[in-house]
Amino acid sequence: MTSTVASPYTELSESSVGDLVLQAQSGDRSAMDQLYCRFQQHVLSIAYKRLGNWDEAQELSQDVFIQAFRRLNQLQAPEAFAGWLRQIVHRMAINRLTRRQMPTSVDHEILEATITCDSDPLAAVLTSEQKIQVHQGLGRLGELDRRTLVAFYLDGQSLNQMSDAFEAPIGTIKRRLHVARKRLAKECEMLQAI
């Protein structure tokens, strides 16, 4: 004994589909329910074949019937309901596929290597406070010390560039950096004590 799945085309004669469509076009909810019941499995099958995802196919089939019943009055040949409905399924499935964002796969090792997250919030707070103290300490230094440290550490100038900018020999620039760092450290210690 073989079992066959009846398609909506063999289950209904063309005139009965046409009659149901005409009744549904005039607002008969019962006719809409019958059309839904008879074509729902077929629409779901097409949606699944197109999308390859059961949950998305079920959602799409609901959307297809909503769209079809909203535009049912546009169907001029009620007997062509099955083909018209099939076109809606195909079109909406294509739209959904083009709008779907494809998941990207990332190798676990690459992901671990690229994650730069401070796992220690205390360290982040301390780093932030240290930056504030350094900037406050810079503000308390003399003009020459501040300019020397800013040029080297913040502006990234080389000793040669600083020698030209300050019109001083490189040895003098090295000594100024050494002295300015010591003075800044002392100012930061005083700020921590406060």
CATH number at residue 180: 1.10.10.10
Are 112 and 122 within 8 A, CB to CB? Answer: no
Q: Which residue has the higher pLDDT, 81 or 7?
A: 81
- Roughly how many angstroms between the first and final C-alpha of the chain, as a whole number? 93
Summarize pLDDT for 55-82 with one digit per residue, the tens: 999 999 999 999 999 999 999 999 999 9
CATH assignment of the domain containing 32: 1.10.1740.10
Neighbours of 136 (CB within 10 A): 14
Q: What is the mean pLDDT of the chain?
A: 82
Residue 160 in domain: yes
What average pLDDT does range 19-31 have in this prediction?
Answer: 91
Query: Are residues 129 and 181 both part of a single domain?
Result: yes
Does 21 lie in the same domain as 88? yes
**Structure tokens that stand for 23 in this block:** 């009744």
Tell me which of 54 and 107 has the higher pLDDT: 54
Give 134-162 pLDDT, tens digit per residue: 888 888 889 998 899 888 888 888 999 99
| pLDDT given for residue 68 in this prediction | 92
pLDDT at residue 107 in the model: 65
Give a yes or no: residue 2 inside a domain.
no
Whether residue 109 lies inside any domain: the answer is: no
Q: Which residue has the higher pLDDT, 6 or 22?
A: 22
- C-alpha 65/C-alpha 48 separation (Å) is 15
Supply the pLDDT for residue 187.
82
Residue 42 has pLDDT above 60, yes or no: yes
The parent domain of residue 32 ranges over: 8-99
| Final residue before a domain boundary, out of 84, 99, 114 | 99
Closest CA to 17 of 66, 74, 105, 84: 84
At 49, is the pLDDT very low, low, confident or very high (cuts 50, 70, 90)? very high
Q: Mark whether 91 and 157 lie in a shared domain.
A: no
Q: Is 107 helix (H, G, I), strand (E, B) or coil?
A: coil
Lookup result for tokens 């596929």: 97
> For 123-132, which contacts have Cβ atoms below 8 Å and span 24 or more sequence positions?
none
Q: How far apart are CA 178 and CA 113, in angstroms?
A: 37
Residue 104 within any structural domain of the chain: no
pTM of the model: 0.46
How far apart CA 69 and CA 20 sit, in angstroms, is: 12
| Domain limit, last residue, from 33, 65, 99 | 99
Q: Would you state the pLDDT for residue 185?
A: 85
Does 116 fall in a domain?
Answer: no
Q: Closest Cα to residue 146, out of 184, 178, 175?
A: 184
Residues 26 and 92 in one domain: yes
pLDDT given for residue 11 in this prediction = 45
Token pair recorded at residue 12:
């209904």
Are 14 and 50 within one domain? yes
**pLDDT-above-90 percentage for the chain:** 41
Is 1 a member of any domain? no
**Residue 21 exposed, middle or buried by CB count within 10 Å (0-12, 13-18, 19+):** buried
Same domain, 24 and 94: yes
Domain-embedded: residue 69: yes
Q: How confident is the model at residue 90, as a pLDDT?
A: 92
Residues 192 and 189: their CA atoms lie apart, in Å, by 5
Q: Are residues 71 and 127 in the same domain?
A: no
Residue 136: what pLDDT?
83
Question: Per the domain annotation, does 114 fall within a domain?
Answer: no
What total of structural domains would you count in the chain? 2
Tell whether 83 and 127 lie within a shared domain. Answer: no
Yes or no: say if 92 and 65 are a contact pair by the CB < 8 Å rule: no
